[in-house]
Amino acid sequence: MAEEQDKQEEIEETNAAAEEMPDGGGQAPAEREALIQQLKEAESKIVEYKDGWARSQAEFQNFRRRMERDNEAFKTAAKGDIFKKVLPVLDDLERALQNRPVDDAWASGIELVARKFQNILEMEGVKKIEAKGAAFDPNFHEAISHEPSDEVESGHVIDVLQNGYTLGERVIRPALVRVAQ
């Protein structure tokens, strides 16, 4: 940047000095005009190159931001795919705990493992879709059946058969639900 300013000042000084000389600096008017034309062409190239450089810098910054965004999306998708494969294990643990004996130390250990597993998922940003009693949303729920119900309003979830999960804004697995007619 400083070099360009120095060059610009030098060009301006040369122009000023040439204009001050009454005889054109000892040069023929045609030569002088040719030199002025060359100078103008050089100045226009400077502007052109500077604009090209600035445009290249902006394109590179946009490219870098796009790559960072794409990498983050890829990481999230990869994490989601891994969690999707592991969620059936959590489902099995939850089903086992629904039918556990009341005073069994072994079952309490299984409950502790299930809670730790849920905590790990929550720390990684995986959230359970709260569906029971909520309005049916095909973006988050997958209807297994439509049943008449006196207790739940039509179009709302009666029961959750399998929990659904999200990772950020992405649905990893929709909740399998029964919906009231």
pLDDT digits (tens, 9 = 90+) for 96-149: 888 887 778 888 888 899 999 999 999 999 999 998 889 999 999 999 999 988
- The answer to whether 177 and 161 are in contact (CB under 8 A) is yes
Q: Is the pTM of this model over 0.85?
A: no
Q: Is the pLDDT of residue 68 over 80?
A: yes
pLDDT over 70, % of the chain: 88
Which range (67-71, 106-110, 121-125, 158-162) has the least confidence?
106-110
CA–CA dist 54, 45 (Å, integer): 14
Q: What residues form DSSP beta bridges with 135?
A: 156
The residues, ordered by sequence, that sit 6+ positions from 170 with a Cβ below 8 Å of its Cβ are 76, 77, 80
Q: What pLDDT was estimated at residue 24?
A: 46
Cα distances from 80 to residues 68, 83, 170, 176, in angstroms, run: 18, 5, 8, 18
Full set of structural domains in the chain with CATH: 126-181 (2.30.22.10)
